[in-house]
Amino acid sequence: MSIQHHRHESNDHTKPILLSFPEQFQTERLTIRAPQWGDGATVNEAIRESVNELRPWLPFARNLPTLEESEIRSREARLQFLERSNMMLYVFDTASGEFVASSGLHRIDWDTRRFEIGYWLRTSWTGKGIITEAVHGITDFAIQHLEANRLEIRCDSKNTRSAKVAERAGFTLEGILRNVEYDEEGKWAHQMVFAKVRGIEF
C-alpha cells in the first residue's frame, strides 16, 4: 500500500471538527494566524487603503464594508476556522505587528485533502515579497499539519501579479478555465488554475 493511499484511508472517517492543529505559525518575517474577535477594524483599515488595487479582482472590495461588517466577517471567519469549513488566515508583520495581508485555505475537501489558497495584500506592503512568503508558509502548514494532497491557487487570467506569486511559490499552471464569471465591468473573465500535488511538487 502506498503512503498516499494509506493516508487517505486513515482520514476517511475523521470529522473535520475533531482535527487539532495550530491556529498560528510563523515564517521568517510573518506571523500567520486564524481570525480573532476584534480583528475587524484592522482589516477594514487595510481594505480601505487598498480598495483601488483590490476592486478589479475581489467582489468584497467593490462596495466598501463598514467597520461593523468587517468585524462580523472576521467573527464568522473565526467560527468557520473552528469548525474547519473554511480557514481564513490573517498575515501580520512580526516586527511591527501590522496587519499586511489576508490569505487562507478555502474550498476545502477533507476527504481528498484538497485546499485552495487565496490572498490579497495591503497596498503599502507591495513589492516586499510578503504574499510569496505567506504562500510558502501556508503551503508548508497545509502539508505538515493538514496532510494536504492538492493545493490550488486560482486567479483571473488578467491578474498578472497574482499569477506571478503562484509561479514564484512553485505552483504549476494546469490550465485556464474560460468564461467562469463576470468581471467588474460585466465582461466574461477567465480563471487560471495553478496547483501543487503530493508526489509531484511535494
What does the pLDDT read at residue 187?
A: 86
CATH architecture type of domain 3-15+22-150: 3-Layer(aba) Sandwich (3.40)
What does the pLDDT read at residue 8?
A: 45
Task: Record the pTM.
Answer: 0.89
Residue 10: pLDDT band (50, 70, 90) is very low
What does the pLDDT read at residue 182?
A: 83
Is residue 138 pLDDT above 60, yes or no? yes
How far are the Cα atoms of 58, 67, 153, 174 from residue 181, in angstroms, in the given order?
A: 12, 28, 16, 19
Of 14-18, 72-76, 154-158, least confident by mean pLDDT is 14-18
